Amino acid sequence: MSDPIIIAVPKGRILSEAVPLLKRAGIVPEAAFSDEDSRALRFATETPGIDLIRVRAFDVATFVAHGAAQLGIVGSDVLSEFDYSELYAPVDLGIGHCRLSVAEPAALAERDDPRGWSHVRIATKYPHVTAAHFEARGVQAECVKLNGAMELAPLLGLAPRIVDLVSSGRTLKENGLVEVEVIAQVSSRLVVNRAAFKTRPEIVPLVERFRQAVAQEVAA
C-alpha cells in the first residue's frame, strides 16, 4: 500500500473555516483535529489513506513545497511571500478573505501623500511582497521583519508604517492606525506539490472534490 496523502492545514483563524470545507470535500478528521488544545500534530481522517497535519500558516507552504505534505491550505499572502515554484495552486477556496495593506498612524496620514514617497521604513511579516510592491513604483522599502503585532511598531518608533493583513479594520483602529494603500486581496488556496501531482494519481480526484466543495458553498 502506498504512503498516505498528507494535507497540511493551518492552525489559527483559518482552521474554523477549513474544517467545514474539508467535510464538504468528504474529508472528515478525527475529533482531536478541531480541538486547539490537543497537542497532537498529525491526525487520521475517516478516509483511509488521507491524514491531516496542523502547522503554522507560513509552514504549510514549506511542508508542501518540500513534498513532506502533498496538499495544503494556505493564504495567498503566504504564497506571494514565498513564491515557491514547487507549489501548484489550482483552487481558490473562498475562505480567509482579507487584504494586505499599508497602514500608518492617523496623524501621519493627515499630512502624508503616498505618491511623494521615495524611501519608506516598514514593519511587516511580508518583506518580499512589500519590497516588490514599492520597487514596482520606484520606492525603496526598508523592511523590519516582525512575526506579529506589527501594529505596535509605529507607536513605539520601530517603523512609521506597517504592511499587514486587514479584515474588519478593528486591529488598526484600536491601535490608532489607518489604511493608506491596499497591496493585494487575500484568500486561501488549495496547494499541491507539483511532483506529487504528477506521481500520485489519487491527487487529481481529490483536487476535484475540493473544487466541488467550493462550488457547493457558492451555490448555497
Ligand X SMILES: Nc1ncnc2c1ncn2[C@@H]1O[C@H](COP(=O)(O)OP(=O)(O)OP(=O)(O)O)[C@@H](O)[C@H]1O
Ligand Y SMILES: O=P(O)(O)OC[C@H]1O[C@H](OP(=O)(O)OP(=O)(O)O)[C@H](O)[C@@H]1O
Q: Distance (Å, rounded) from C-alpha 190 to C-alpha 18?
A: 11
Does residue 183 belong to the site contacting ligand Y (CB under 6 A)?
Answer: no
Burial class (CB in 10 A: 0-12, 13-18, 19+), 110: exposed
Does residue 116 belong to the site contacting ligand Y (CB under 6 A)?
Answer: no
Instruction: State in angstroms the smallest separation of the CB of 16 from ligand Y.
Output: 12
Residue, CB closest to ligand X: 75
Nearest CB to ligand Y, comparing residues 59 and 164: 164
Decide which of ligand Y, ligand X, none touches 79; Cβ closer than 5 to 8 Å per partner kind.
none
Burial class (CB in 10 A: 0-12, 13-18, 19+), 117: middle
Q: Distance (Å, rounded) from C-alpha 204 to C-alpha 22?
A: 16
Instruction: State in angstroms the smallest separation of the CB of 77 from ligand Y.
Output: 10
**What is the number of other CB atoms lying within 10 angstroms of the CB of residue 200?**
17
Decide which of ligand Y, ligand X, none touches 118; Cβ closer than 5 to 8 Å per partner kind.
none
Decide which of ligand Y, ligand X, none touches 149; Cβ closer than 5 to 8 Å per partner kind.
ligand Y
Nearest CB to ligand Y, comparing residues 93 and 165: 165
Site for ligand Y in 3-42 (CB under 6 A): 13
Does residue 169 belong to the site contacting ligand Y (CB under 6 A)?
Answer: yes
The residues facing 149 across adjacent strands are none
Residues near ligand X (CB under 6 A): 10, 12-14, 56-58, 75, 77-78, 96-98, 147-148, 165, 167, 186, 188
Does residue 115 belong to the site contacting ligand Y (CB under 6 A)?
Answer: no
Q: Distance (Å, rounded) from C-alpha 121 to C-alpha 193?
A: 35
Contact present, 43 and 54 (Cβ < 8 Å): yes
Q: Distance (Å, rounded) from C-alpha 3 to C-alpha 218?
A: 33
Decide which of ligand Y, ligand X, none touches 170; Cβ closer than 5 to 8 Å per partner kind.
ligand Y
Q: Distance (Å, rounded) from C-alpha 187 to C-alpha 146?
A: 21
Cα end-to-end span (Å), the chain: 38
Site for ligand Y in 147-166 (CB under 6 A): 148-149, 164-166
Does residue 170 belong to the site contacting ligand Y (CB under 6 A)?
Answer: yes
Instruction: State in angstroms the smallest separation of the CB of 175 from ligand Y.
Output: 9
Give the residues lining the site for ligand Y (CB under 6 A): 13, 148-149, 164-171
